[in-house]
């Protein structure tokens, strides 16, 4: 009987620890995504280069490209992500992968013209050692009534 109670207690503690670690990962990824938007606004390509995996891909309304092109676009200001107003965030953790959905209103300077666009942005991260690396970011143009299902 004592072994059964001990086993049950150990199981409950393990489940609680796992849940706490998952919630901590969710908060880490949310904060990292928020920082990423600021780094993009600040054109801080050094921080972004460290965040973006070398094989990362970026899907925009005008095309899909890899890490170096995205960094060049930000550095040169071809797209200046001036401000991302975040309306909603959802995160799912699957093993060492995090998928984050942001509902944003993006104010960006595109080729000298300001554009304000509603997007749901999907970001995929993978934890490597102790750091999260972004694998993909996809912009999906949506209506301002679009909702992310939690």
- Reference 23, options 86, 89, 88, 92; nearest CA is 92
User: pTM here?
Assistant: 0.83
Q: For each of the chain's 150 residues, which pLDDT tens digit applies?
A: 666 554 444 443 343 444 444 559 999 999 999 999 999 999 999 999 999 999 999 999 889 999 999 999 999 999 999 999 999 999 999 999 999 999 999 999 988 999 999 999 999 999 999 999 999 999 999 988 888 989
CB 99 within 8 A of CB 124: yes
Paired residues of 89 in beta bridges: 102
């Amino acid at each position: 009987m004592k072994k059964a109670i001990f086993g049950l207690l150990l199981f409950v503690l393990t489940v609680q620890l796992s849940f706490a670690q998952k919630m901590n990962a969710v908060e880490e990824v949310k904060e990292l995504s928020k920082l990423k938007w600021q780094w993009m606004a600040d054109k801080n390509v050094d921080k972004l280069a460290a965040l973006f995996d070398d094989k990362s891909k970026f899907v925009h309304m005008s095309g899909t490209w890899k890490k170096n092109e995205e960094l060049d676009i930000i550095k040169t200001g071809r797209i200046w992500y001036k401000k991302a107003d975040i309306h909603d965030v959802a995160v799912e953790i699957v093993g060492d992968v995090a998928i984050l959905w942001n509902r944003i209103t993006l104010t960006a300077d595109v080729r000298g013209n300001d554009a304000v666009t509603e997007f749901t942005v999907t970001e995929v991260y993978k934890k490597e050692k102790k750091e999260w690396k972004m694998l993909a970011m996809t912009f999906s143009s949506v209506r301002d009534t679009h909702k992310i299902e939690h």
